[in-house]
């Protein structure tokens, strides 16, 4: 993940450290069709990373790709 306009910050989290993810939308975000993806990690000083302003479908797709989901999840 890369953040910042003036100062750049890149964070890399191995897939094996991802515990779970959240896709969040408030009322205004739903109206605009955007969402935030929050990735919770294990064992790092960065307990979670967030990506804001993604199209909702892109946030769902990215979540599924990060978790290697193929629609056969038990939950």
pLDDT in tens, 6-53: 777 777 778 888 888 999 999 999 999 999 999 888 876 668 888 899
Q: How many residues does the chain have?
A: 75
Q: Does residue 75 lie within any of the structural domains? A: no
Q: Does residue 51 lie within any of the structural domains? A: yes
Q: Does residue 59 lie within any of the structural domains? A: yes
Runs of H (alpha helix) within the chain:
27-32, 56-66
Enumerate residues 6+ apart whose C-beta is below 8 A from 47: 40, 41
Q: Above 70 in pLDDT, residue 66?
A: yes
Q: Does residue 73 lie within any of the structural domains? A: no
Number of domains in the chain: 1
Domain containing 61: what range? Answer: 2-66
> pTM for the whole thing?
0.72
Q: Does residue 14 lie within any of the structural domains? A: yes
């Amino acid at each position: 993940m890369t953040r910042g306009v003036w100062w750049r910050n890149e964070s890399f989290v191995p897939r094996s450290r991802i515990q779970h993810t959240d896709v969040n939308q408030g009322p205004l975000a739903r109206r605009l069709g955007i969402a935030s993806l929050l990735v919770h990690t294990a064992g790092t000083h960065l307990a979670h990373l967030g990506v804001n302003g993604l199209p909702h479908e892109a946030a769902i797709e990215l979540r599924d790709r990060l978790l290697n989901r193929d629609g056969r999840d038990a939950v």
